[in-house]
Chain A
């Protein structure tokens, strides 16, 4: 049975879409580790790896209470304890650490670990402090890295900017 021109065009469009999707996924993983680390959902509640990854605005709550929804390749592999530990480490790092000083977390139950290191501190014209940071997460022996910026809010929490 011979295919019509329309069928051939449709097939080509589908093939092109499939190939470009694969390329996009590969690029996301290798070029944008933030996306790999996940995105946070919900109305700015909670803290976690996704928020630290900075894919979208989120809150790091000083009390490290977790409330956000974590997605992404790494986010899916982290349990609540991981996220809580990561959040606490982030709060410590942002609030207390010198630039270049890491706060590390390690969950002995599953071997997952990570670190947050402020890499630059600055102040906005309104006096608000912001800190750029580097984040690493190791899951299953695989190390992932991400970068972002967090700014301190008047209530003492740190909001992820990027």
Chain B
């Protein structure tokens, strides 16, 4: 009986520690190359508006963890390249709708498109990422 109790205790301790270790795992860092590859669905080494839009919709969907159709400040803050909620919340309702999010991200797209060809190259994406890391 005593031995069984010890085993249960040990099992519980291991489960607890594993859970803590998992919880303590850092969020997966943003990888611009991987993101670029995922977004460039036609594999022409450029991200056009259509590909970017599809990616942003997917990003919004994934970030909207409660799936209420909007991003709260907390949900929005977990996305890479998210600055202040106020930047995107154009109707000032304290949350981000998908149109607001997409508009905001397309402004970033234009800022990153340094050669103004209407597409993003990997170099432009990486340069923007490095700039924002500073």
Chain A residues at the B interface, C-beta cutoff of 8 Å: 98-100, 120-123, 126-129, 152, 156
Task: Determine the main DSSP class of B at the interface with A.
Answer: helix
Contacts known (A129-B67, A129-B69); A123 close to B62, Cβ less than 8 A? no
Choose one: A99, A126, A128, A152; the contact of B58 (CB below 8 Å).
A99
| A123 and B57 contact, CB distance less than 8 A | yes
A147 to B103, CA, bound (A): 30
* Contact, CB under 8 Å: A123 / B67: no
Q: Nearest B residue to A100 by beta-carbon distance? A: B41
Task: Tell me if B61 and A121 are in contact (CB < 8 A).
Answer: yes
Q: Is the CB of A99 within 8 A of B54?
A: yes
> Shortest beta-carbon distance, A86 to chain B, in Å?
22
B38 at the interface (CB under 8 A from A): yes
- Which residues on the B side are within 8 Å of A98 (C-beta)? 38, 58, 62
B99 to chain A, nearest CB (A): 9
Nearest chain A residue, comparing its CB with the CB of B70: A127
Q: Which residues of B contact A152 (CB under 8 A)?
A: 67
With a CB–CB cut-off of 8 A, which chain A residues contact B57?
121-123
